[in-house]
Amino acid sequence: MVRQQFDDLFTAVRREAYDITSTLKDAATSVRDTLKDGSIKNVPKRINEPSGLDPIKFRKLLITLIKLLIIFEFLSAIFEGMGTDSWGRLGKDCVIAGIVYIMWDRIKTLVLQKKDEYRRKMEHSGEMIKLVDALIFSLLWSDEIYTDIPLDMRRLVVIAYTLIAISIGAIFLGIGQGLVGLILCSSLILAAVNLLAWVVSRERGEKESLKTELKLAHDVQVSLMPKEHPKVEGFDIAGLSIPAQEVGGDHFDYAPIGGDSSKFCISVFDVSGKGMQAAMSAVFTSGAFASEVKQSSSAAEILTRLNKSVYTHSKRGHFVAFLLAALDGESKTLTFANAGQMKPLLKSNGSVQWLNSVGVNFPLGMKEDSSYGEQAVRLTSGDVLLLLTDGFTEAMNSSKEQFGTEKMESFLHRLDADQISSQKILERVTLEIERHVDGTAQHDDMTMVVVRVL
C-alpha cells in the first residue's frame, strides 16, 4: 500500500517535471524566434502578432514559474537543513504544502464563490469599490476579462503590460538613478495606463453604438406590432410581447382574412434564435404574413403559402413556430392552424384544455412542401383562450424550475374571468410569472394574446 502511494507520488512528480520542461521549452522557443538573427527589432513585431497573445499559454507559463519557485523553496530548505542541522524551515514548508494539498478542492470552491462575488461587485460600478476588491477581481477573472477584449485590441493590452513590466524591471535593475529613474518608470506606467484606458473607452463606445442599433431595431419591430387592442364584435382581445433582449424573435399581429371583416385572425409566432438576426426574421415573417392573409381564405391556406416564403428566404436551420387562429364572429367559431407553436389553451365551461391541431405540425421553413391543416372549435360566452409562446411556460426561477404547462392550466382554471377584461387577464398572468421567477433574469421572449368570448 505504501509502495503504491510512493509510486503514484513519483509518477505525479515526473508528470509535473515534464509539464514544467515542456512549458519552459515553449517559452525558450518563443524567445529564440523573437530574437532570431540577433536583432532586437523583431521584438515589437512579435508583441503585435496575435499568435503570441494566447492567455492559456501565459497562464500555463505563470503556473510553471510558481511551481519552480516552490521547488526552489524546498531545495533551499533542504540545503539549509543540511548545512545548519536545523530542519524547522523544511518542516513548515511540508506542513503548508500538506494543508494546501488536502484543502485544494475546498480552495477551488472558495475561489469560484469569490469570483462570482467580486463579479457582482464590479458590475455595480456605481457603488464604492475598494482598490483591493478591484485587484482581487482582476486576478480571479483575468482569463475572462482578456477573452472579452476584441482581438484587435488585445495587442494594445499586451503592449501596456509590457511597458509596466519594463518599468518594474528598470526599478529592480537600477536603470537610471534618482529623478531620472522616477521619470522613466512613471512615463512607462502612464503610457500603459493611457493605453488601457483607451481600450476600455473604445470598447465602451462600440457597445454604445451597438446598443443604439439594437434600440433602432427594437423600435422597428415594435412599430410592426399592434399598438392598441382590436375591436371585434363578440370578442374581447388583448396582446402583449416582452423581448428577453433589446430585440427578439417573438411577434403577434391581427388581420381580417381575405378582406372578410367577419373572419378575424390572430397570429402568434416565434422565430428561432435571439437578438438582431431573430428580429430581422420576425420583421420579414410579419411582412410576408400581411401579404398572404389578404390573398388567402383560411388559416391552413395562409400557413401553407407562408411556409414557402419562409423556406425560400430563410437560412437553413432557421425556423418560425407559427400559430394562426381565425375567429368567426357570426358563428362564434375558432379555426386554427399550428406550425410548431405552443397549443392554444382554452377554458370553457369550467374545464381547461390544450387544443390539438391536425395534419402537419412542422415549423415554417423546415420543409418546402409542407401543407397545413386546420381545426375548428365552437366557442361559448365566457370562454377564455390563451395564445402564447413558450417564453411563459419555460420562465425559470433561480433554481432552474420552469413555470410549466401544468401551472398555466391551474392558473387559468382558478381564474374567475367573468368580470375582468382580457387586458386584466394578461396582467395577472404576467404577475404570476414574476412571482415564480422571483427576480431571475428573463431568458426568452414572452408573447401572449388573450381572447375572451363575450
**Mean predicted confidence (pLDDT) in 301-315:** 86
Question: Do 278 and 356 have their domain in common?
Answer: yes
pLDDT per position as a tens digit, 218-260 = 666 677 788 888 888 889 999 998 887 655 678 899 988 876 6
- Measured from the Cβ of residue 150, the count of other Cβ atoms closer than 10 Å reads 10
pLDDT(411) > 50: yes
Residue 40: the pLDDT is 47
pLDDT per position as a tens digit, 121-151 = 666 655 566 666 666 666 666 666 666 666 6
In 225-258, where does DSSP find H-type helix? none
Rounded to whole angstroms, the Cα distance separating 329 from 333 reads 7
**Mean predicted confidence (pLDDT) in 285-296:** 85
Question: Do 218 and 284 have their domain in common?
Answer: no
Q: What average pLDDT is seen over the chain?
A: 76
What proportions of the chain, in percent to the nearest 5, are helix, strand and coil?
A: 60, 15, 25
Question: Do 183 and 86 have their domain in common?
Answer: no
- Binned at pLDDT 50, 70 and 90, residue 425 comes out as very high
Residue 20: the pLDDT is 56
pLDDT(49) > 60: no
pLDDT per position as a tens digit, 58-88 = 566 666 677 777 878 888 888 888 888 788 8
Question: Do 381 and 242 have their domain in common?
Answer: yes
> Which residue, 201, 224, 247, sits at the end of a domain?
224
Residue 286: the pLDDT is 84
Rounded to whole angstroms, the Cα distance separating 95 from 384 reads 71
Q: Is the pTM of this model over 0.75?
A: no
Residue 318: the pLDDT is 77
Which strands sit side by side in the sheet containing 260-271, from one edge to the other? 250-257, 260-271, 320-328, 333-339, 375-378
**Mean predicted confidence (pLDDT) in 343-367:** 89
> Which residue, 224, 250, 266, sits at the end of a domain?
224
pLDDT(449) > 90: yes
Rounded to whole angstroms, the Cα distance separating 252 from 243 reads 12
CB 333 within 8 A of CB 385: no
- Pick the closest to residue 311 from 363, 253, 373, 266 (CA basis): 363
Question: Do 259 and 396 have their domain in common?
Answer: yes
Question: Do 65 and 182 have their domain in common?
Answer: no
Residue 452: the pLDDT is 93
Question: Do 294 and 417 have their domain in common?
Answer: yes
pLDDT per position as a tens digit, 167-186 = 777 766 666 566 666 666 77
Domain holding 437, by residue range, is: 231-453
Question: Do 146 and 183 have their domain in common?
Answer: no
Residue 163: the pLDDT is 73
- Can you spell out the DSSP letters for 118-140? HHHHHH-TTS---HHHHHHHHHH
- 3-state DSSP assignment of residue 177: coil
User: What residue has cell string 477584449?
Assistant: 149
- Binned at pLDDT 50, 70 and 90, residue 51 comes out as very low
Question: Do 292 and 369 have their domain in common?
Answer: yes
Question: Do 326 and 208 have their domain in common?
Answer: no
**Mean predicted confidence (pLDDT) in 7-14:** 56
Residue 42: the pLDDT is 53
- Binned at pLDDT 50, 70 and 90, residue 313 comes out as confident
**Mean predicted confidence (pLDDT) in 368-380:** 90
Q: Which residues touch 220 (CB under 8 Å, ≥6 apart)? A: 279, 283
> Which residue, 159, 176, 208, sits at the end of a domain?
159
**Mean predicted confidence (pLDDT) in 435-454:** 88
- Counted domains in the chain: 3
Domain CATH code at residue 310: 3.60.40.10
Which range among 34-38, 285-289, 351-355, 369-373 has the greatest average pLDDT? 351-355
Rounded to whole angstroms, the Cα distance separating 284 from 365 reads 13
Residue 335: the pLDDT is 93
Higher pLDDT, 111 or 96: 96
Question: Do 265 and 327 have their domain in common?
Answer: yes
CB 271 within 8 A of CB 389: no
Question: Do 322 and 403 have their domain in common?
Answer: yes
- Binned at pLDDT 50, 70 and 90, residue 50 comes out as very low
pLDDT(53) > 50: no
pLDDT(52) > 50: no
